[in-house]
């Protein structure tokens, strides 16, 4: 019952925070669709905004009708497990990796509080969501296929924009230290899959004793 009271406020605040982070992002451009799609941080913020917005709508429907739309609930859980959780944590892992290549990144990260909204806050939000909402892993094969497709689409857009603009989406991709481009492209999917399965284990650890309860409505 306590969680049912916390969720609506949390989802509304999270959606608002994600949208604000999009608006203040200096790389975001309403008219530059491909330009926006080459930046994984913007992908993540839009994914977060849509997920938390739909979650807030679901909370409102649940309160008004006292029923649980199963299809809506399953879409939310599948989206969270497949995209929201893995991508948010992946971006932070990449940031840590870039820090080892460029020590100035950490200094810049602390100097600009906007970076907290782009990286730290999204990771914190999805971890909190994992603890306050049960999202079952019911379609693992479909989740992994969707994750593979998203990764492939993103990488194709990055390479397409590189050929059109003559520059990579991130400065660290221009570095030849440890062949960062090859590492990024080859490691992206394995890392996302690893985070996906970590999320699955974390989900089981948190909600294992309550897994027979309805997937979202608790």
Every domain of the chain and the residues it spans: 2-210
pLDDT tens for residues 125-174? 999 999 999 999 989 999 999 999 999 998 888 888 777 666 666 666 66
**What count of Cα atoms within 13 Å lies in the side-chain half-sphere of residue 209?**
1
CA-wise closest residue to 20 among 107, 116, 133: 116
Integer Cα distance of 59 and 3 in angstroms: 11
182 — pLDDT class (breaks 50, 70, 90): confident
Among 22-26, 79-83, 172-176, the least confident range: 172-176
pLDDT at 17 exceeding the cut of 70:
yes
Q: Is 131 left (phi over 0), alpha (psi -120 to 50) or beta?
A: alpha
Among 105-114, 156-165, 208-217, the least confident range: 208-217
CA-wise closest residue to 216 among 14, 15, 57, 48: 57
Burial state string for 156-190 with b = 16 or more CB within 10 A and e = fewer than 16: ebbeebbeeeeebbbebbeeeeeebbeebeeebbe
CA-wise closest residue to 195 among 49, 95, 82: 82
Residues 6+ positions from 98 with CB-CB distance below 8 Å: 105, 170, 172
The residue among 125 and 36 whose pLDDT is bigger is: 125
CA-wise closest residue to 47 among 79, 78, 89, 10: 79
Residues 6+ positions from 66 with CB-CB distance below 8 Å: none
pTM score, whole prediction: 0.83
Quick one: how far is CA 110 from the chain centroid? 21
Quick one: how far is CA 201 from the chain centroid? 18
């Amino acid at each position: 019952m306590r969680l049912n009271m916390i969720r609506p406020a949390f989802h509304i605040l999270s959606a608002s925070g994600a949208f604000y982070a999009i608006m203040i992002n200096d790389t975001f451009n309403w008219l530059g669709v491909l330009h926006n799609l080459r930046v994984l941080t913007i992908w993540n913020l839009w994914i977060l905004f849509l997920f938390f917005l739909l979650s807030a709508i679901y909370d409102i429907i649940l309160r008004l009708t006292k029923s649980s739309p199963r299809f809506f609930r399953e879409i939310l859980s599948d989206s969270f497990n497949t995209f929201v959780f893995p991508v948010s944590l992946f971006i932070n892992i990449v940031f840590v990796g870039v820090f080892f290549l460029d020590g100035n990144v950490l200094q810049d990260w602390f100097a600009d509080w906007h970076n907290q909204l782009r990286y730290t806050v999204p990771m914190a939000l999805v971890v909190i969501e994992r603890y306050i909402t049960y999202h079952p892993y019911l379609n693992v094969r479909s989740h992994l296929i969707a994750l593979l497709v998203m990764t492939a689409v993103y990488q194709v857009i990055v390479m397409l924009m590189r050929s059109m603009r003559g520059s990579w989406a991130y400065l660290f991709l221009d570095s030849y230290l440890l062949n960062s481009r090859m590492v990024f492209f080859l490691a992206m999917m394995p890392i996302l899959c690893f985070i996906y399965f970590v999320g699955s284990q974390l989900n089981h650890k948190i909600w294992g004793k309550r897994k027979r309860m309805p997937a979202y409505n608790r």
